Protein backbone atom coordinates (compact mmCIF):
# COMPACT_ATOMS: atom_id res chain seq x y z
CA UNK A 1 0.00 0.00 0.00
CA UNK A 2 2.73 2.40 -1.03
CA UNK A 3 1.77 6.02 -0.54
CA UNK A 4 -1.60 5.41 1.12
CA UNK A 5 -0.91 7.87 3.93
CA UNK A 6 0.57 10.61 1.74
CA UNK A 7 -2.27 10.34 -0.75
CA UNK A 8 -4.94 10.47 1.94
CA UNK A 9 -3.34 13.50 3.62
CA UNK A 10 -3.14 15.34 0.29
CA UNK A 11 -6.76 14.50 -0.56
CA UNK A 12 -8.07 15.53 2.84
CA UNK A 13 -6.20 18.83 2.62
CA UNK A 14 -7.81 19.46 -0.75
CA UNK A 15 -11.39 18.36 -0.11
CA UNK A 16 -12.24 19.04 3.52
CA UNK A 17 -14.55 22.08 3.70
CA UNK A 18 -12.90 25.25 4.90
CA UNK A 19 -9.31 24.11 4.37
CA UNK A 20 -6.84 26.31 2.57
CA UNK A 21 -6.42 23.84 -0.23
CA UNK A 22 -9.65 24.94 -1.84
CA UNK A 23 -12.07 22.56 -0.13
CA UNK A 24 -15.32 24.39 -0.18
CA UNK A 25 -18.28 24.92 2.09
CA UNK A 26 -20.54 25.43 -0.91
CA UNK A 27 -22.17 21.95 -0.94
CA UNK A 28 -23.07 22.36 2.73
CA UNK A 29 -24.43 25.87 2.29
CA UNK A 30 -26.36 24.65 -0.74
CA UNK A 31 -27.84 21.83 1.35
CA UNK A 32 -28.93 24.24 4.07
CA UNK A 33 -30.25 26.72 1.51
CA UNK A 34 -32.56 24.07 0.00
CA UNK A 35 -33.84 23.17 3.48
CA UNK A 36 -34.41 26.87 4.18
CA UNK A 37 -36.22 27.60 0.93
CA UNK A 38 -38.51 24.59 1.09
CA UNK A 39 -40.95 25.93 3.77
CA UNK A 40 -41.22 29.20 1.85
CA UNK A 41 -42.23 27.33 -1.29
CA UNK A 42 -44.66 24.92 0.42
CA UNK A 43 -46.19 27.32 2.88
CA UNK A 44 -46.43 27.13 6.68
CA UNK A 45 -48.42 23.92 6.92
CA UNK A 46 -46.79 21.92 9.75
CA UNK A 47 -48.46 18.62 8.85
CA UNK A 48 -47.41 18.79 5.22
CA UNK A 49 -43.88 19.90 6.14
CA UNK A 50 -43.42 17.13 8.67
CA UNK A 51 -44.61 14.56 6.12
CA UNK A 52 -42.32 15.68 3.31
CA UNK A 53 -39.38 17.28 5.13
CA UNK A 54 -37.30 14.10 5.44
CA UNK A 55 -37.54 13.46 1.70
CA UNK A 56 -36.46 17.01 0.94
CA UNK A 57 -33.38 16.56 3.11
CA UNK A 58 -32.54 13.47 1.07
CA UNK A 59 -32.93 15.27 -2.26
CA UNK A 60 -30.87 18.18 -0.98
CA UNK A 61 -28.13 15.78 0.14
CA UNK A 62 -28.07 14.13 -3.27
CA UNK A 63 -27.80 17.47 -5.09
CA UNK A 64 -25.12 18.70 -2.68
CA UNK A 65 -23.07 15.56 -3.40
CA UNK A 66 -23.09 16.42 -7.13
CA UNK A 67 -21.50 19.85 -6.68
CA UNK A 68 -17.84 18.83 -6.14
CA UNK A 69 -17.76 16.17 -8.88
CA UNK A 70 -15.86 18.13 -11.55
CA UNK A 71 -12.92 18.77 -9.25
CA UNK A 72 -12.79 15.24 -7.88
CA UNK A 73 -10.51 13.55 -10.42
CA UNK A 74 -10.22 15.65 -13.59
CA UNK A 75 -7.63 18.17 -12.28
CA UNK A 76 -5.25 15.37 -11.24
CA UNK A 77 -5.55 13.71 -14.64
CA UNK A 78 -5.01 17.00 -16.51
CA UNK A 79 -2.05 18.03 -14.36
CA UNK A 80 -0.32 14.70 -14.86
CA UNK A 81 -0.53 13.37 -11.31
CA UNK A 82 -1.93 10.04 -12.44
CA UNK A 83 0.96 9.68 -14.93
CA UNK A 84 3.52 10.22 -12.18
CA UNK A 85 1.74 7.81 -9.85
CA UNK A 86 1.64 5.17 -12.57
CA UNK A 87 5.40 5.55 -13.11
CA UNK A 88 5.92 4.95 -9.40
CA UNK A 89 3.87 1.77 -9.49
CA UNK A 90 0.94 3.25 -7.57
CA UNK A 91 -2.21 1.68 -9.01
CA UNK A 92 -5.07 3.88 -10.17
CA UNK A 93 -7.38 1.67 -8.12
CA UNK A 94 -5.56 2.64 -4.93
CA UNK A 95 -5.64 6.34 -5.75
CA UNK A 96 -9.37 6.14 -6.52
CA UNK A 97 -10.08 4.18 -3.32
CA UNK A 98 -8.26 6.81 -1.27
CA UNK A 99 -10.09 9.55 -3.16
CA UNK A 100 -13.42 7.86 -2.41
CA UNK A 101 -12.63 7.82 1.29
CA UNK A 102 -11.54 11.46 1.28
CA UNK A 103 -14.55 12.53 -0.79
CA UNK A 104 -16.95 10.83 1.61
CA UNK A 105 -15.19 12.29 4.66
CA UNK A 106 -15.45 15.74 3.10
CA UNK A 107 -19.22 15.70 2.73
CA UNK A 108 -20.86 12.69 4.45
CA UNK A 109 -20.26 13.57 8.11
CA UNK A 110 -20.79 17.27 7.41
CA UNK A 111 -24.14 16.60 5.76
CA UNK A 112 -25.18 14.53 8.76
CA UNK A 113 -24.29 17.45 11.01
CA UNK A 114 -26.07 19.93 8.78
CA UNK A 115 -29.15 17.68 8.76
CA UNK A 116 -29.79 18.74 12.38
CA UNK A 117 -30.43 22.45 11.63
CA UNK A 118 -32.05 21.40 8.36
CA UNK A 119 -34.53 19.23 10.25
CA UNK A 120 -35.55 22.27 12.29
CA UNK A 121 -35.99 24.32 9.12
CA UNK A 122 -38.28 21.78 7.44
CA UNK A 123 -40.00 20.98 10.73
CA UNK A 124 -39.53 17.23 11.17
CA UNK A 125 -39.60 15.55 14.58
CA UNK A 126 -36.78 13.81 16.42
CA UNK A 127 -37.92 10.34 15.41
CA UNK A 128 -37.85 11.20 11.71
CA UNK A 129 -34.52 12.98 12.14
CA UNK A 130 -33.08 9.79 13.60
CA UNK A 131 -34.23 7.84 10.52
CA UNK A 132 -32.79 10.54 8.24
CA UNK A 133 -29.43 10.42 10.03
CA UNK A 134 -29.19 6.62 9.90
CA UNK A 135 -30.27 6.74 6.27
CA UNK A 136 -27.62 9.35 5.43
CA UNK A 137 -24.97 7.27 7.21
CA UNK A 138 -25.99 4.27 5.12
CA UNK A 139 -26.54 6.18 1.87
CA UNK A 140 -23.81 8.83 1.60
CA UNK A 141 -20.98 6.30 1.02
CA UNK A 142 -22.99 5.07 -1.95
CA UNK A 143 -23.51 8.63 -3.19
CA UNK A 144 -19.77 9.22 -2.87
CA UNK A 145 -19.04 6.03 -4.82
CA UNK A 146 -21.47 7.00 -7.60
CA UNK A 147 -19.81 10.42 -7.70
CA UNK A 148 -16.34 8.89 -8.04
CA UNK A 149 -17.45 6.52 -10.81
CA UNK A 150 -19.15 9.29 -12.78
CA UNK A 151 -16.22 11.66 -12.25
CA UNK A 152 -13.77 9.06 -13.56
CA UNK A 153 -15.90 8.21 -16.61
CA UNK A 154 -16.26 11.89 -17.59
CA UNK A 155 -12.60 12.68 -16.89
CA UNK A 156 -11.49 13.53 -20.41
CA UNK A 157 -14.62 15.41 -21.44
CA UNK A 158 -14.91 19.16 -21.71
CA UNK A 159 -17.78 20.71 -19.81
CA UNK A 160 -18.31 17.50 -17.90
CA UNK A 161 -19.79 19.23 -14.83
CA UNK A 162 -23.36 19.39 -16.11
CA UNK A 163 -23.13 15.97 -17.71
CA UNK A 164 -21.89 14.28 -14.55
CA UNK A 165 -24.71 15.88 -12.60
CA UNK A 166 -27.22 14.39 -15.02
CA UNK A 167 -25.53 10.99 -14.94
CA UNK A 168 -25.53 10.77 -11.15
CA UNK A 169 -29.27 11.17 -10.81
CA UNK A 170 -30.47 7.85 -12.32
CA UNK A 171 -27.77 5.92 -10.44
CA UNK A 172 -28.82 7.55 -7.18
CA UNK A 173 -32.50 6.60 -7.57
CA UNK A 174 -32.22 3.23 -5.74
CA UNK A 175 -30.46 4.86 -2.79
CA UNK A 176 -33.13 7.53 -2.69
CA UNK A 177 -36.03 5.07 -2.93
CA UNK A 178 -34.83 2.89 -0.07
CA UNK A 179 -33.22 5.61 2.04
CA UNK A 180 -36.01 8.15 1.86
CA UNK A 181 -38.60 5.39 1.59
CA UNK A 182 -37.67 4.19 5.07
CA UNK A 183 -39.06 7.48 6.36
CA UNK A 184 -42.64 6.64 5.42
CA UNK A 185 -42.52 2.95 6.31
CA UNK A 186 -40.48 3.58 9.45
CA UNK A 187 -38.91 0.14 9.04
CA UNK A 188 -35.27 -0.86 9.06
CA UNK A 189 -35.60 -2.91 5.86
CA UNK A 190 -35.19 0.11 3.62
CA UNK A 191 -32.19 1.34 5.57
CA UNK A 192 -30.55 -2.07 5.38
CA UNK A 193 -31.06 -2.13 1.62
CA UNK A 194 -29.60 1.38 1.36
CA UNK A 195 -26.55 0.18 3.23
CA UNK A 196 -26.26 -2.89 1.01
CA UNK A 197 -26.43 -0.81 -2.19
CA UNK A 198 -23.84 1.57 -0.72
CA UNK A 199 -21.44 -1.25 0.10
CA UNK A 200 -21.79 -2.70 -3.39
CA UNK A 201 -21.10 0.68 -4.99
CA UNK A 202 -18.12 1.33 -2.71
CA UNK A 203 -16.68 -2.07 -3.66
CA UNK A 204 -17.08 -1.42 -7.40
CA UNK A 205 -15.94 2.22 -7.47
CA UNK A 206 -12.13 1.81 -7.23
CA UNK A 207 -12.04 -0.75 -10.05
CA UNK A 208 -14.46 1.10 -12.31
CA UNK A 209 -12.67 4.37 -11.61
CA UNK A 210 -9.20 2.93 -12.17
CA UNK A 211 -10.19 1.36 -15.48
CA UNK A 212 -11.85 4.59 -16.66
CA UNK A 213 -8.78 6.67 -15.86
CA UNK A 214 -6.47 4.27 -17.68
CA UNK A 215 -8.79 4.35 -20.68
CA UNK A 216 -8.78 8.16 -20.67
CA UNK A 217 -4.97 8.20 -20.67
CA UNK A 218 -4.86 6.33 -23.99
CA UNK A 219 -7.05 8.91 -25.70
Residues that bind other proteins (CB under 8 A): 2-3, 6, 10, 14, 20-22, 79-81, 83-84, 86-88, 90, 217-218
Q: Which is nearer to other proteins, 176 or 213 (CB)?
A: 213
Q: Which is nearer to other proteins, 38 or 76 (CB)?
A: 76
Chain centroid to CA 208: 17
Residues 6+ apart with CB under 8 A from 116: 129
Q: Nearest distance from residue 83's CB to other proteins, in Å?
A: 6
Q: Which is nearer to other proteins, 97 or 175 (CB)?
A: 97
Q: Please state, in angstroms and rounded to a whole number, the distance separating the CA atoms of residues 164 and 156.
A: 12
- CA torsion sign for 37, 40, 44, 45 is negative
Q: Which is nearer to other proteins, 157 or 173 (CB)?
A: 157
Collapsed DSSP state (helix, strand, coil) of residue 24? coil
Q: What one-character DSSP code corresponds to residue 21?
A: T
Q: Nearest distance from residue 73's CB to other proteins, in Å?
A: 15
Q: Which is nearer to other proteins, 81 or 207 (CB)?
A: 81
Q: Nearest distance from residue 6's CB to other proteins, in Å?
A: 4
Q: What one-character DSSP code corresponds to residue 188?
A: S
Q: Which is nearer to other proteins, 98 or 114 (CB)?
A: 98
Within 13 Å and on the Cβ side, how many CA atoms surround 5?
0
Whether residue 95 contacts residue 7, with contact meaning beta carbons closer than 8 Å, is answered with yes
Q: Nearest distance from residue 217's CB to other proteins, in Å?
A: 6
Q: Please state, in angstroms and rounded to a whole number, the distance separating the CA atoms of residues 102 and 9.
A: 9
Picking from 168, 182, 173, 169, the residue whose alpha carbon sits closest to that of residue 134 is: 182
Q: Nearest distance from residue 5's CB to other proteins, in Å?
A: 8
Q: Nearest distance from residue 53's CB to other proteins, in Å?
A: 38
Amino acid sequence: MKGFGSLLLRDLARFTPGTRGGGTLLPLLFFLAVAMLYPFAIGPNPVLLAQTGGGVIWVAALLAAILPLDRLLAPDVEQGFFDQWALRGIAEEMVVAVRLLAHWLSFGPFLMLAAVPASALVGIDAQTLRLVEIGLLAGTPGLAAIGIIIASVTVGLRGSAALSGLLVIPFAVPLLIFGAGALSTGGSGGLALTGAISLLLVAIAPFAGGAAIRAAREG
